[in-house]
Amino acid sequence: MARRALFVLLAPALLVGCGSESDDSTVDAEPTTRVVESAYGEVEIPAEPQRIIADLMTVDYLTALGYDTNNVIGVFGLDFHASDEEHYLADELARDDLFDPGFPYEVDLEAVAAADPDLILLPFDQIDGAKGREKLAAIAPLVAVPTSEEDADGGRYGGTASFQDWRGTLRSYGELLDREDEAEAYIAETEAEIEELREEHADLIAGTEVVQAKSTPDYVAINPIETDLAALGSILLGELGFHEPAAVQDAEIDEWGSVDVSQENTTLLDGDLLFLEVREGSDRHEGSPLWGTLDVVQNDRVVTVGNHWQFGGAVGAREVLADIDETLTELAAS
């Protein structure tokens, strides 16, 4: 079970202004730092960070909370994500003053140091196990936002990933930034969207077998709905009440929580509806001679979606819901 991160603000020291011997008054000032609890213990950070290096998920959660993302000066993997002009955070990533320090597992430490950040902020699952984590923390305070308890079986993320529990992770960021109310309001509004969508298209959802998959230049795989390592999109499909074809339910799930789709078993992609994430313009799924024989292809029910179906947070969840709503509305009309 995911645990909520508890960020504890330790009692700040009062900054005392000393005057002459005859002046025994004290002057209270706002503390310039505070101590928070991260996944790796307590970290002292600026009270008001101005130069944050973050990852894509953090930008998502900060945006959901209404936080001023102009304080973010660098985004891990920026160039890769910004190359997708239709990325759901394209506006946030298009700033000219952002820089890319590389991905957390292959970070350019010299570039990070040169940027002089006052805080490095990202979810626990996006930095856990990275060899450069301690070196990053030596450059600037590093807060790895906890997302869940550690998986006793040594799972992929050492627990639930930040894009698998967007609610819990958003609450953690809300506590960190003193925006708990904003986090709860965003969750409540999204829950209302889910309920409205579920009620509006109840019959269509109940009668539609859906598959959610991804096609990359290297592989094609299904993101099953009923698995502990489900992607954001498949999790929301399950919450709405969708079911997969029996063949997908019976298929073997790999260590990544996916079902591999080879040219020989492309029929696993068949159903009433296919939400297909296409990465880097991949056409690998079309390479199978079975692709054109699928009912979902012949019935023109393949919906191309973005990477937020796999890797999205609180804002990504709403984008997924918007994709589903648009698709079901079109199906209902036809």
DSSP-assigned letters across all residues of 104-133: GGG--HHHHHHH--SEEEEEGGGTTT-TTH
10 lies in some domain: no
Claim to verify: residue 211 and residue 312 sit in the same structural domain: yes
1 lies in some domain: no
> Cα separation of 41 and 32, whole Å?
20
For 313-332, what is each residue's pLDDT tens digit?
A: 999 999 999 999 999 999 99
For 120-158, what is each residue's pLDDT tens digit?
A: 999 988 998 888 899 999 999 999 998 765 544 544 333
Q: Last residue of some domain: 145, 178, 211?
A: 178
Residue 197 CB burial class (10 angstroms; 0-12, 13-18, ≥19): buried
Claim to verify: residue 107 and residue 232 sit in the same structural domain: no
Claim to verify: residue 170 and residue 274 sit in the same structural domain: no
Average pLDDT over residues 39-49: 91
**182, 174 Cβ separation under 8 angstroms:** yes
**213, 275 Cβ separation under 8 angstroms:** yes
> Cα separation of 318 and 321, whole Å?
5
Claim to verify: residue 165 and residue 266 sit in the same structural domain: no
Claim to verify: residue 208 and residue 96 sit in the same structural domain: no
Tokens of 232: 């954001």
**The pLDDT value given to residue 146:** 80
Q: What band does 44 get if pLDDT is binned at 50, 70 and 90?
A: very high
Q: Looking at residue 32, what DSSP letter applies?
A: S
> Cα separation of 107 and 131, whole Å?
10
Structurally, the chain folds into a number of domains equal to 2
183 lies in some domain: no
26 lies in some domain: no
Cα diameter, the chain: 92
Claim to verify: residue 149 and residue 217 sit in the same structural domain: no
Claim to verify: residue 174 and residue 205 sit in the same structural domain: no
Claim to verify: residue 249 and residue 287 sit in the same structural domain: yes
Q: Looking at residue 48, what DSSP letter applies?
A: S
CATH number at residue 220: 3.40.50.1980
Claim to verify: residue 150 and residue 225 sit in the same structural domain: no
252 lies in some domain: yes
16 lies in some domain: no
187 lies in some domain: no
Please state, as a whole number, how many other Cβ atoms lie within 10 Å of the Cβ of residue 311.
20
Claim to verify: residue 142 and residue 213 sit in the same structural domain: no
For 257-271, what is each residue's pLDDT tens digit?
A: 899 999 999 999 999
Please state, as a whole number, how many other Cβ atoms lie within 10 Å of the Cβ of residue 111.
14
Q: What band does 10 get if pLDDT is binned at 50, 70 and 90?
A: very low
250 lies in some domain: yes
Claim to verify: residue 218 and residue 110 sit in the same structural domain: no
**How far is Cα of residue 165 from the mean position of the Cα atoms in its chain?**
9
> Cα separation of 197 and 21, whole Å?
70
Residue 205 belongs to what domain range?
201-333
Claim to verify: residue 253 and residue 298 sit in the same structural domain: yes
